[in-house]
Structure 1
Amino acid sequence: MAQNIFISYSRREVGFVDDLVRRLEAEKYVVWLDYRSLVAGSPWQDQIYKGITDAEVILLVISKESLASRNVEVEWQRVLGEKKRIILLIFEAVELPPVLEKYEWVDFRGNYKAGLDELFSQLKTPVQEEHPVPQTGFKVPAVVWLSFILSIPAAIFSLISIWTLFIPFFLVPLPYRIFKRDFSYLPVQASLLMMPFAIFLTANLSVSDTLYDLFRVLAVVSLPLNLWLMYLLRSEGMQRWGKPSANSPAKPHVDMTRFPQDKPIKYFIDHAPQDREIAISLDRTFKSAGHIESAGADSAKATFTLISRFKTESVADCESQLVYPVIVQSNDKISPQLSRIQWLDMRSGVRNLDVIARLLPDPALLSRGLCVRPSGNQLVLPSAILALIYFIVFLAVVCIGSWFPYISQYANLFFKDPFYLEVVVQLIASLILFGGISYFMVRHIMQRQGFFASLPGLLTGAVLFAAILYWQVAIDNMVFDLLGVTVDYRGISSYYPRGLYMIGLPIMLIYLWFNRRDLMYWLPAKKPKQKRS
């Protein structure tokens, strides 16, 4: 007969716990896990206590965060009162409370497979009376060591592209942050992807033949190393190791192969005005499937709350009503109520609306099939938005970086000869403008707030980029006229950014056109104007 298992943990270990549950269920164990087991209709505390009472084994994940968590402490104190079998899962080496030192334990700090084998062995054998206290000391899985080793050359090579600022900003501290389990995957991924191209650009603009040859070699060498590191950071081992911000987005637990019988359900969509376009699509899909819109959450059988920077809590009571949080934008200020139940994750794009409508009559099947673990502080973006941000950042990097070599080469002339004053002023102004516009465009787009987080704003940004780039062509010609350089060498500093813009912009526009739905969902809708009384 399969054992019932209750898992107590902190949100910090959600990647580790998610993988552990999958493997336990593959061995036919019945697992109680809060965000997969809590249901609406009764107080959550009562459900948690019932989960503990019904469980034969309690798995307590040990880490600094879990031992500091009041909720976790309440759970294991409750377990002690019921005299249940407890197995400690050592995620981090910490000093245990004396009352927990006598219990069985499994060390998951090193080899994960060895830890699983030991756990399954203990679950299949009676409780042992004598247990040594868990060993302290520093242990990490092999994949973490390998990621750390590969991150060292990435950190060093990133210094070659120091003029980009953001690449070394994310990659220089990466070795340390890997051991601290604390890095944000998306900007690290962007930095690793862009670094070889930034080094290659540095080589092409170098005034030294020796540096030119060296940097080109390093650009070629860094590409496979960075791709390998990216692969490792997305591996199962690193997903278990890292904090939620270092994890890739969770996938639904079960592939859908069956649907419940059609039945009209009263629903309510709870959303901020800025997320109106997503709400309209969800509403349209539900109505086409025969479901009935409710006037409010109180009279609805199911409430869908769209979570974004504009809305962090539901109008419905998650303990007494059926609530589906639909996360459309990463947010680390989500209400505690919503953080205890599974979500429909639409941060990477609004998908599967028709499937949600078909599964709506069966909440258990919907939650099991499409919902994922809660993790609001991951930075996840739709592919169209991610591509747009990458294009803007890379364009800014190339534009600003292209001028550094001959600024440094002719610095004495630029800043001492009064004839160059106008050129210097125009050049500095153009670089500041381009960098500033790029910064605010990326910021507004990522936050879904501000002028550039709109179609008129994006078009304005594109026009401003074109104007500044052609202004820089004129500056380029002014510089070489003053230097007396032949026409064949003109435009080297404005060539790369202008060429990238002229080639990249049409490609970007075509890509955004084919993904225009995601773009329109992401750009915030305007708040309706309030009528004057």
Structure 2
Amino acid sequence: MKPGLFISYSRRQTPFVDSLVEKLTKNEYSIWLDYHNLVPARPWFDQIMEGLNGADAVLLIVSKDSIESTNVADEWKTALKLNKRIVLVIFETCPLPEELQNCEWVDFRVDFKKGIKQLDHLLNQLISLEKPAPQRGFKAPFLFRVALILSILVAISSIPVLWTVYIPFILIPLPWQIYKRNYNLSRVFAALILLPFMTYIHSETGTDNLLFSRLILNIDIDLHVFLIIAFLLITFFFSPVLLVILFTESMQRRATPEAAQVRFANRLIVDKRQEPRSVLFAIDHAPEDGRYADDLRKGLEKHGHCMAQINETPEAIFVLISAYKKSTNFDPDSQVVYPVILQPVSGIADNLGRIQWIDFRKGIRNIDKLAKLLPEPERLLRALATPPMNSGEIYPVVVDVLQYFFLGTGMVFGGVILMSVLDVIIGVFQTTNFISELIDIVFIIINGILLFGTSLFILRGLRLRTRGASAIYPLFILAVFQLVLVICVFFSLDQMTTSGSGRSIEGGDPTQGIIAIFLYYAIFLLVAIPLVLFRWRELYRWFPRYQVVPVDRIENIFLLYNPLQTRAFILHLIFHLGLLFSVPLFFLAFSFDGISVILFCVAPILFGVHWLARRLEKK
């Protein structure tokens, strides 16, 4: 019979531990792993001690994080007192405490499959090792070295698209982050997907000649063309190859939780025909998360479970964790508590941060399996629970689509506009009407900044769920505002081009720019509308149910939140329509008469509406 194993590790190595436990389980080892074996309503420390006592050997995953962890130290010190066999699984080398330096060990740094075979051989035979465990030196799989080289090439190829800001910000530090294993997979994924597209836009516009030939490289045109072709080859070939490598098992095992895919549920067969025993349950949630709570309640009641009333004691308690709720008054050591995470969030209470979570960050999934397994906490957690790690930026699919769209809007239009202004500036010095052209350029720069700023504002609202912009109405207003800005700037550049001051974004034909705008929005609508129609409930749940007060000064000024009263909503709508009317007047009039109309006619009306809306809300 194979020995029972207790896994002692740092949660920073959870992806590696998942793979290790999966292989050992297939080899018929009995494994005790906290987020697989801890059950609610029992003190977690007592359960850990039971796991240690019942194990024949302790596998200590050696890394800098685990050796520095006090919880891990308590586990291996307890194992030594109990005279348990300790086997060091070398994930990375680091100085070892004196008590561990003579323990048995297996090196997993280079070849995982070979390490599994050596570990299996070691566990089933007592072998005296001639050498102590390594405490220095760096080793890594071949794919890691390939990923490191590709990331350097991709980082260099991101320099031409500095105007996007986001892509070089993510990709330039990526080689060092891959070496340290602390990159954010969701952000790197977005940057690598967008890099070829943005490079193509860069090569097709006049901004490439400006950026390289005039400002940075100061080289002849032949070498410049060669470099552009080289950058295109790197981005269109190496970027997707690097992305594929980052998702391979070898790279995923080396990754920290931020850099690894999340496993939302394990494979556990549930009889679809069997109806579970009815269980009294309670849902502890913030008012803002009421839509999640309603859907969870309906899913459980559909299978015969009942919501506990005030005078009833629930058998199962679901605590919905979000930006609005990070703690609970229920005691997981004496009650069956299931933490349910709804969004990426930090600062979660310790009593919820040490037991398994049910992961609803992608939306309410596996609700039928959850309902059928509710009377069996141990099977439920084994099937649906995930390690309590809150660092992954994981969102519902429809929210991800919206994020990519607004991120692209800021990069494509805001970035190209700002870079094109540099090209226009050169033409300004060749014209006699210097002051007038300079004012035009200032207007366009403001436009580009506004596009970047509104994109960041929208992304912040979508990600955090705690801002005034975390609602459909303000997001819609901001999206329309961006569209108006983009159209206005193309017409503005058209006027500047026809006046002979410079070149337009599309090489002198502004109609191409207008076509590009509508193509961009058309593609988004073709993707987003079907997705929203089929998954509207997912987006509906994501936005908070209540918005009591705006949380940001800018949101206060521009009324970017959902008002509580219908009359206030009408005033908000009038205010925003007035602002949208002012944008083309300001950017397209290009005269002091147009500015005068805004200052003396539109502005007083907007201030009056704003004052009435704020006064009404205070009542």
TM over 0.5: yes
Identity of matched residues, %: 33
Q: Which amino acid aligns with 2:452?
A: G
| CA RMSD in angstroms, aligned pairs only | 2.4
How far 1:524 moved relative to its partner? 1.3
Among 397, 400, 405, the alignment partner of 1:391 is: 405
139-148 vs 204-213, which deviates more? Answer: 204-213
Q: Secondary structure at the match of 1:47?
A: helix
Contact 2:110 2:139 in 1 (8 A): yes
* CA distance in 1: counterparts of 2:380 and 2:72, whole angstroms: 28
Larger Rg: 2
- Determine the structure 2 residue equivalent to 1:255: 268
Instruction: Please list, as runs of the form range in 1=range in 2, the aligned pairs for 1:302-317 lying within 5 A after superposition.
Output: 302-317=316-331
Q: Deviations over 1:85-106 (max 9, x none)?
A: 1101111111111111111011
For 1:393 and 1:138, locate their aligned partners in 2 and report how far apart those are by CA, in whole Å: 38
Structure 1: distance between partners of 2:32 and 2:488: 63
Structure 2 contact 468–547 (Cα < 8 Å) conserved: no
Measure, in 1, the Cα distance between the counterparts of 2:486 and 2:384: 46
In structure 2, distance between residues paired with 1:49 and 1:22? 23
Note if contact 2:199-2:235 (Cα within 8 Å) is conserved in structure 1.
Answer: no
The match for 2:459 is 442
Contact 1:206 1:212 in 2 (8 A): no
Residue 277 of structure 1 is matched in structure 2 by 291
- Partner AA of 1:275 in structure 2: D
CA distance in 2, matches of 1:503, 1:58: 55
Greater CA deviation, 9-18 or 363-372? 363-372
1:143: how far off? Answer: 2.0
Q: What secondary structure does 1:337 align onto?
A: helix
2-structure distance, mates of 1:398, 1:353 = 40
Q: Is the counterpart of residue 403 in structure 1 residue 423 in structure 2?
A: no
Q: How much does 1:283 deviate?
A: 0.6
Q: Is the 8 A contact 1:398 1:496 kept in 2?
A: no
SS of residue matched to 2:349: coil
How far does the alpha carbon of each residue in 1:466-499 deviate from its partner, in whole angstroms, 9 at most, with x for none? 2112211320221122118899723455553454
- What residue number does 2:509 align with? 489
More deviation, 320-329/339-348: 339-348
User: Shift of the alpha carbon at 1:224?
Assistant: 2.9
Once structures 1 and 2 are overlaid, which stretch shifts more, 216-225 or 362-371?
A: 216-225
Per-residue deviation, 1:61:
1.1
What is the aligned counterpart of 1:521 among 511, 523, 541?
A: 541
Tell me by how many angstroms 1:422 deviates: 3.1
Amino acid paired to 1:23: K
Match of 1:24 in 2: 24
Q: Which residue of 2 aligns with 1:464?
A: 481
Q: CA deviation at 1:247?
A: 0.9
* Secondary structure of 1:152's aligned partner: helix
350, 367, 377: which one aligns with 1:363: 377
- Relative to 1, partners in 2 of residues 1:39 and 1:297: Cα closer, same or farther, differing over 3 Å? farther
Contact 2:425 2:441 in 1 (8 A): no
Name the aligned partner's letter for residue 412 of structure 1: I
Candidates 325, 332, 341, aligned match of 2:355 = 341
Aligned-pair CA distance for 1:385: 0.7
Greater shift in the superposed pair: 330-339 or 57-66? 330-339
Match of 2:205 in 1: 205
TM-score, normalised by the number of residues in structure 2: 0.81
Q: Structure 1 residues 257 and 358, CA, compared in 2 at 3 Å: closer, same or farther?
A: closer
CA distance in 2, matches of 1:154, 1:475: 35
AA at the equivalent of 2:324:
F
More displaced stretch, 497-506 vs 485-494: 485-494
CA distance in 2, matches of 1:462, 1:468: 10
2:236 alignment counterpart = 223
Amino acid corresponding to residue 355 of structure 1 in structure 2? K
Listed as ranges, the gaps of 5+ residues in structure 2 are 210-220, 549-563, 565-619
Structure 1 equivalent of residue 608 of structure 2: none
Partner SS state of residue 79, structure 1: helix
Give the SS at the match of 2:158: helix
State the shift of 1:501 in Å.
2.5
Letter in structure 1 aligned against 2:41: G
Tell me, in whole angstroms, the C-alpha distance in 2 between the residues paired with 1:470 and 1:47: 63
Distance (whole Å) between structure 2 residues aligned to residue 214 and residue 498 of structure 1: 31
Moved more, 482-491 or 199-208: 482-491
Structure 1 78/152 Cα, relative in aligned 2: closer, same or farther at 3 Å?
same
Q: Which residue of 2 aligns with 1:72?
A: 72
Q: Deviations over 1:205-238 (max 9, x none)?
A: 1364755675356335422321121111111111
- Name which of structure 1's ranges 444-453 and 3-12 shifts more when overlaid on structure 2: 444-453
Shift of 1:526: 0.5
Q: Which amino acid aligns with 1:513?
A: L
Deviation by residue 1:319-375 (Cα, 9 ceiling, x = unmatched): 111111111101232222223222211111222212211221222221122222222
Unaligned 5+ segments in structure 1 are none
